Amino acid sequence: MNNAVNVLLLAPFIGSALAYILGKMKKPLAFWVAEITGAILFLASVVIFLKYSDAPINFDLNWIHYGNITIPFGIYIDHLSIIMLLVATGLGFLDIHFAHDYMGEDPDQPRYYAKVLFFIGGMILLVVTKDLIGAFVGWEFMGLASYLLISYWYFKNSAANAGMQAFLYTRFGDIFILAAIALLMVFVGTTNLVELNHLADAGEINKTLALVVALFVFMGAIGKSGQFPLYPWLMNAMEGPTTVSALIHGATMVNSGIYIVARMFDFFAYTEALFVVANVAALSAFIGSTSALVQKEIKKILAYSTMSHLSIAFVGLGVGSLAAGILHLVNHAVFKALLFLAAGAVIYIAHHTKDAWKLGGLIKTAPWVAIFFAMGSLSLAGVPPFSGFFSKELVVASAWEWGNGFVKTFVTIAALLSIAYITRLWILIFLGEPRNEDIAGSVKKPSTLWMRLPLAILAFLTLALSLWQDDIIHYIVGDNFVEPHVEGLTVFMLTSMFIIFLIVVGLYLKGLNLLYKIASHHFVQTIHQILYNGYYVEAMITWISKNIIVNSIARAAKWFDTYVVDYIVNATVALALYTYKFFKLGHTGRIGSYMGQMVLGVAIIVVAILIIVKGL
Amino acid sequence: MVAVDIIFAPIFLSALVYFLTRGAEHLTKYVALAWFIVLFIISLNWLNQIMHPESYAFPPEIINYIKATGFLPLGEYLRVPAFGFSLTLQIDALSVAMLILTAALLILVVFTSWEEKNQAAYFSLLILFSGPIFGVFMTTNVLWFFMFWELTLVPMLFLVGYWGAEGVEVKKVFNIEIKLPSRVYAALKFFLYTHVFAMFMFVGFFLLFKQTGYWDFTLIKEAAIVTPALIWWLMFLGFAAKLPLFPFHTWLPDAHVQAPSSISVLLAGVLLKMGAYGLIRFIIELMPVTTARFAMWMVVLGLITTLYAGFLAIYERHIKKMVAYSSISHMGLVVVAAATLSYDGLSAALYEMIGHALVISPLFLLAGWLHHKTHTWYMDEMGGIMKYAPYASAIFILAGMAALGLPGTMGFIGELTIIISAVKSFGWWIAIIAFAGMISAGYIIWSIRRVFHGEPSEVVKRSEFHMSFPEKFALAVYAFLIVYFGVNPQPIFDIANKAFSFFGGM
């Protein structure tokens, strides 16, 4: 089993280097190296899953020893890690497989696969490390890989901007984790996540300190998992290749925030931080689901829905149900990967058209993709018997049972709205008449092996997972799972969803004219603008960083540096010149004047010597 | 070869090389390379002797001396008994770390200036520079330290002033206009600045002598006097200008911009380290009691320097100035770490000094290289260079990531250890230096966006991007070191722990 751990830790990075080097020699090799590495990683995860006995895999290394401080680096694999490993490596493998065709025409493939493998390495590192420091290393690796992959098509200004934005937004959160690490190292003496939970259970940590640390860690999670207010990067991250969006910005990296909160769950529960988590997440869920209603681009709709569903998982954690949060994380990862890859297939078929309003009627040309997309959509919407239904139901029920009014309302709205936006998207892409003849006339056929197979596997999984829901819950929390009971919730949810579904179908299939009429109303347009721009949070953050940070603070610093600090330095030259001119006045040519100056000089020297000798 | 030859041989060697290679100038660099490799090997050997004295056939009293003081004695030369004054050479782990760094950077500088103009003079000056710089780190006599300190300026003055960039600087102060070629302005500013502040240090050393009657570092330290504030401030000013600390930093962007990029590497990698070395050796080690009194001043100045220079870097369009401000920003972190006056803080400071040298050097080299190829300094006039120069872009991004403290690079370890030590010594509030990591992310990522990503600009399309093999090699070495010591930092921390173990018991 230790071999499997070693493979997991090393193979991605070796594979990454190999994919680049071999790919530079012969292009197809890059894909094959990545595919094989992905398969090996998934197999290693399965081996760990199968061979896992009751005790967690646990070993420590001393990484850095400086002064009297030791910075450890430990490996800790328990059930939670194994679930994350299976999700990350499994979806990673399918994603690489799918990329064979999707990225097949790209001239720069070695770079692509090298970065993807590096990303998977970061994700693995995050979920198997024991210390917050090690987790931070993996966390930042993923941030780097995400940055490089979003700006993969760096020659497009939009992609370059999106990458920069993603890095800076997530980095802003990460800084808080760095501060949290320092606080933990100094005031608690350990960053060991398992031990922190034990200390919290025993109540041996100062509560204020624990609250600050928990909030700092959550700040990092906000950045990485696209919560309010640091979410706009996630939408712009859709500039990257769709396979990247599927893996990183849909299924794995964005889950890391949820993972870290789940990993420190007892620590969070010990403080009031979970309350903050629940409320921020409920707000984000609402923002994400409402904004998803009005987006035009396929991927942006999916991105806002990702944000909304991550928030739903966070709400599960926030109201105190670890099982609900992780269960939704797993289900969401599967169906969101499915949806993104299916969207990738659509985009591939339609020659990189991303605007859903330009598509339409694709069910005739790509029936299988339509079916897989529909399965993913049903799971996302939370329709039984798809897996999404169970976890969403569990989160909403937990929120009703334990959450406050704000959390309850917003998470329910978010859960209900998901059927609206995903139905709308599916109708826009697959039903109706083709709205753009150019695209409709020249569609490509998706290949069975490379494109349909991963979709079929994921579609099957999203159904099959619903059989294992109880097993997953049991696997994570053991026997101490408290199931929330809310009378009539399921009936209420399903009826409301059905009504919403009918409204959306009616509007988009039969009542487009009515829809246009509603949309042209002034008030509706204002609302539409606000939702379409993601509540203007991006505009606000951009305004702050541009006008306050760069053009006020940095500019003031520059002004101060040029006109005060450096001016004084240069003024010494002027001072020297004036001194020279002053003493030049003494060059009169008369003996008497020279004599007088000499006497003055001697007097000054004598006084100076007296002062120095007596004074010091 | 005795130790003193290493310091004085370069004077003769450089003259010899200069005159003998007339007509075959390209040979000079091989001589320089060979000499620097010799220096590197000798330094490594010294390191080994200091870390494991028992495995060498030293007389027992020397082994005891090394164990007691940490210093490896290399002899006393040029005695002037009347003044109790001699060139005492002895090195400990701190100085030997600096020696190795210096020799390594000098070797790499030869590769990166492979095609420099007027080679005989250039490499002779480099060889000449290697003498006093080794002297600075090897001697424990404060007067000799001062002399070597000043002597390093002379080759630097010429290297910046002659091989520097083109252009004319016009500054208007009151109603006097200063008009000089920019490189001369920068070289003079650098020279005068360091020279003037070295005078404060000089006076400080004299006052120290007046107090104790010793010129030698180890003896003054043993005298363990409580130093008056005046001496502390005089010496602190001398080192602060070299580091540089706010508000004495304005010479650095000018000097860096005008210097050829290989010389920028020496400025950032070695000359700034003289300041940090002096700060640790002659302020913290020599006057711990007084330093403890003024530690808060150091922290605040270091903090201001870090954040202030970071903001300047954000606002900067000029690529090399951006890197220069980044360099200042990181040196501020070194001061914060040193000001903790703790075993772990000083170890972190030494690590960050080495890390800073290795991280900032490729950035300077690439900034200079980009200017050389595109003939513009301004980042907003570049764009999309990654398409034309993937190798250079990859190295810049890697080094940039190290500068902003991404894990897996030296920058992260430095930042992490410094933040932990600072919080440990000063309390939770100092955790705001974590924001240095955000500011540096701001300027690094934005500059990558403007220079390497995006649509290629007209300027870039017109340019031709070719990098010579020696340059590529040197950059690859930097990249390797950044990652290697970022993943496995313990070798450096072993040296650092050895150097500051005397703080362990305090």
Reported as a single tens digit per residue, the pLDDT across A91-125 is 999 999 999 888 888 888 899 999 999 999 999 99
Collapsing DSSP to helix, strand or coil, A275 comes out as helix
Residue A208, amino acid? T
Q: Match 């809310």 to its residue by tokens.
A: A486
Contact, A46 vs A88, CB < 8 A? Answer: no
| Mean pLDDT calculated for residue range A434-463 | 80
Q: What are phi and psi of B169, to 5 degrees?
A: -105, 130
- What pLDDT score was predicted for residue A491? 86
Residue B117, amino acid? K
Residue B471 touches partner A, C-beta closer than 8 Å: no
- Confidence category of residue B506, pLDDT binned at 50, 70, 90: very low
Contact, B347 vs B444, CB < 8 A? Answer: no
pLDDT in tens, A225-281: 989 889 999 999 998 899 999 999 888 899 999 999 999 999 999 888 899 999 999
Distance separating alpha carbons of residues A478 and A177, to the nearest angstrom? 29
- The answer to whether residue B504 scores a pLDDT higher than 60 is no
- What pLDDT score was predicted for residue B1? 58
Q: Which residues of A touch B386 (CB under 8 A)?
A: 154-155
Residue A164 touches partner B, C-beta closer than 8 Å: yes
| Mean pLDDT calculated for residue range B274-302 | 89
Q: Which residues of B touch A550 (CB under 8 A)?
A: 314-315
- Confidence category of residue A1, pLDDT binned at 50, 70, 90: low
Q: Å from A251 to nearest chain B CA?
A: 23
- What pLDDT score was predicted for residue A333? 92
* Termini Cα distance of chain A: 73
Residue B449 touches partner A, C-beta closer than 8 Å: yes
Residue B434 touches partner A, C-beta closer than 8 Å: yes
Among B315, B326, B446, B500, the residue to mutate for chain A (most A Cβ within 10 A):
B315
b/e map B396-433, b = 16+ CB within 10 Å:
bbbbbbbbbbbbbbbbbbbbbbbbbbbbbbbeeebbeb
| Mean pLDDT calculated for residue range B26-43 | 90
Q: Do B417 and A157 touch (CB under 8 A)?
A: no
Contact, A146 vs A159, CB < 8 A? Answer: no
Residue B448 touches partner A, C-beta closer than 8 Å: yes
| Mean pLDDT calculated for residue range B36-59 | 89
b/e map B338-370, b = 16+ CB within 10 Å:
bbbbbbbbbbbbbbbbbbbbbbbbbbbbbbbbb
Q: Which residues of B touch A114 (CB under 8 A)?
A: none
β-sheet bridge partners, residue B178: B171
Distance separating alpha carbons of residues A156 and A154, to the nearest angstrom? 5
Q: Which of A151, A182, A565 minimises the CB distance to B453?
A: A151
Q: What are phi and psi of B86, to 5 degrees?
A: -160, 165
Interface of B with A in 388-417 (CB under 8 A): 397, 401, 404-408, 412-413, 415-417
Q: Where are the domains of chain B?
A: 3-503
Which among B233, B354, B350 is positioned nearest to B298, based on CA atoms? B233
Distance separating alpha carbons of residues A414 and A207, to the nearest angstrom? 33
CB contact set of A235 (below 8 Å; sequence gap of 6+) = A300, A303, A304, A307, A534, A538
CB contact set of A498 (below 8 Å; sequence gap of 6+) = none
Interface of B with A in 322-381 (CB under 8 A): 342-348, 351
Which among A153, A597, A165, A183 is positioned nearest to B432, based on CA atoms? A183
Q: What is the ipTM of this complex?
A: 0.91
Which among A410, A390, A408 is positioned nearest to A399, based on CA atoms? A408
Among B94, B172, B176, the residue to mutate for chain A (most A Cβ within 10 A):
B176
- Of A357-361, B378-382, B472-476, least confident by mean pLDDT is A357-361
Give, to the nearest 10 degrees, the angle between helix A256-263 and helix A298-318.
Answer: 10
Q: Which residues of A touch B247 (CB under 8 A)?
A: 565
Query: What sign does the CA torsion over B69, B72, B78, B81 have?
Result: positive
- The answer to whether residue A147 scores a pLDDT higher than 50 is yes
Average pLDDT, chain B: 88
- Confidence category of residue B304, pLDDT binned at 50, 70, 90: very high
Please tell me whether the peptide bond between A28 and the residue prior to it is cis, using omega within 30 degrees of 0.
no
Which among A90, A99, A30, A153 is positioned nearest to A344, based on CA atoms? A99
Which among A420, A201, A449 is positioned nearest to A294, based on CA atoms? A420
Average pLDDT, chain A: 88
- What pLDDT score was predicted for residue A612? 65
Distance separating alpha carbons of residues A289 and A294, to the nearest angstrom? 10
- Confidence category of residue A508, pLDDT binned at 50, 70, 90: confident
Contact, A253 vs A260, CB < 8 A? Answer: no
CA torsion angle for A143, A146, A148, A154 (degrees, to 10)?
-130
Q: Do A570 and B171 touch (CB under 8 A)?
A: yes
pLDDT in tens, B198-229: 888 888 888 888 888 888 888 888 777 777 88
- What pLDDT score was predicted for residue A123? 93
Q: Which of A64, A136, A182 minimises the CB distance to B407?
A: A136
Q: Do A155 and B384 touch (CB under 8 A)?
A: yes
- What pLDDT score was predicted for residue A348? 86
Chain-centre distance of CA B448, in angstroms? 25
Distance separating alpha carbons of residues B176 and B170, to the nearest angstrom? 10
Residue B424 touches partner A, C-beta closer than 8 Å: yes
B457 sits in the region (left: phi over 0; alpha: psi -120 to 50; else beta) called beta
Q: Do A155 and B315 touch (CB under 8 A)?
A: no
Q: What share of chain A is helix, strand, coil (3-state, %, to 5)?
A: 80, 5, 15
Tell me the H-state helices in B22-141.
28-51, 60-69, 93-112, 119-138
Distance separating alpha carbons of residues B96 and B45, to the nearest angstrom? 10
Other C-beta atoms lying within 10 Å of the C-beta of residue A149:
28
* DSSP notation for B430-460: GGGGGHHHHHHHHHHHHHHHHHTSSSPPHHH
Distance separating alpha carbons of residues A122 and A120, to the nearest angstrom? 5
- The answer to whether residue A411 scores a pLDDT higher than 70 is yes
Kindly report the pTM of this predicted structure. Answer: 0.92
Contact, A171 vs A238, CB < 8 A? Answer: no
- Confidence category of residue A441, pLDDT binned at 50, 70, 90: low
Give the side-chain half-sphere CA count within 13 A for A410: 25
Contact, A115 vs A152, CB < 8 A? Answer: yes
Q: Match 């400080």 to its residue by tokens.
A: B204
β-sheet bridge partners, residue A74: A60
Among A64, A66, A161, A209, the residue to mutate for chain B (most B Cβ within 10 A):
A66
Q: Do A558 and B315 touch (CB under 8 A)?
A: yes
Q: Do B424 and A186 touch (CB under 8 A)?
A: yes
- The answer to whether residue A578 scores a pLDDT higher than 90 is no
Residue in chain B lying closest to A558 (CA): B312
Residue A301, amino acid? I
Which among A295, A298, A419 is positioned nearest to A349, based on CA atoms? A298
Pairing of strands B85-91, B168-173: unpaired
Distance separating alpha carbons of residues A426 and A421, to the nearest angstrom? 9
- What pLDDT score was predicted for residue A311? 93
pLDDT in tens, B118-155: 888 888 889 999 999 999 999 988 888 998 998 888 88
Q: Match 């993913």 to its residue by tokens.
A: A376
Tell me the H-state helices in B227-318.
229-242, 251-258, 261-266, 272-278, 288-315
Interface of A with B in 538-567 (CB under 8 A): 549-550, 553-555, 557-558, 561, 565-567
Residue A11, amino acid? A
Among A119, A129, A172, A178, the residue to mutate for chain B (most B Cβ within 10 A):
A178
Burial of A73 (0-12, 13-18, 19+ CB in 10 A): middle
Which among A182, A188, A566, A512 is positioned nearest to A360, based on CA atoms? A512
Q: Do A554 and B314 touch (CB under 8 A)?
A: yes
Task: Tell me the C-alpha to C-alpha distance, in Å, between residue B6 and each of A312, B1, B133, B138.
Answer: 68, 8, 10, 10
Q: What are phi and psi of A66, to 5 degrees?
A: -130, 135
Nearest-5° angle of CA B83, CA B87, CA B93?
130
Residue B133 touches partner A, C-beta closer than 8 Å: no
Q: Match 């921020």 to its residue by tokens.
A: A280
Q: Do A144 and B247 touch (CB under 8 A)?
A: no
Q: Do A154 and B417 touch (CB under 8 A)?
A: no
Distance separating alpha carbons of residues B309 and B247, to the nearest angstrom? 10
Distance separating alpha carbons of residues A410 and A398, to the nearest angstrom? 13
Percent of chain B with pLDDT over 90: 38
Distance separating alpha carbons of residues B185 and A387, to the nearest angstrom? 71
Which among B454, B439, B160, B409 is positioned nearest to B307, based on CA atoms? B439
Question: Which helix (H) or strand (E) covers residue A72, if one does?
Answer: strand A69-77
Which among B48, B44, B64 is positioned nearest to B56, based on CA atoms? B48
pLDDT in tens, A157-177: 999 999 999 999 999 999 999
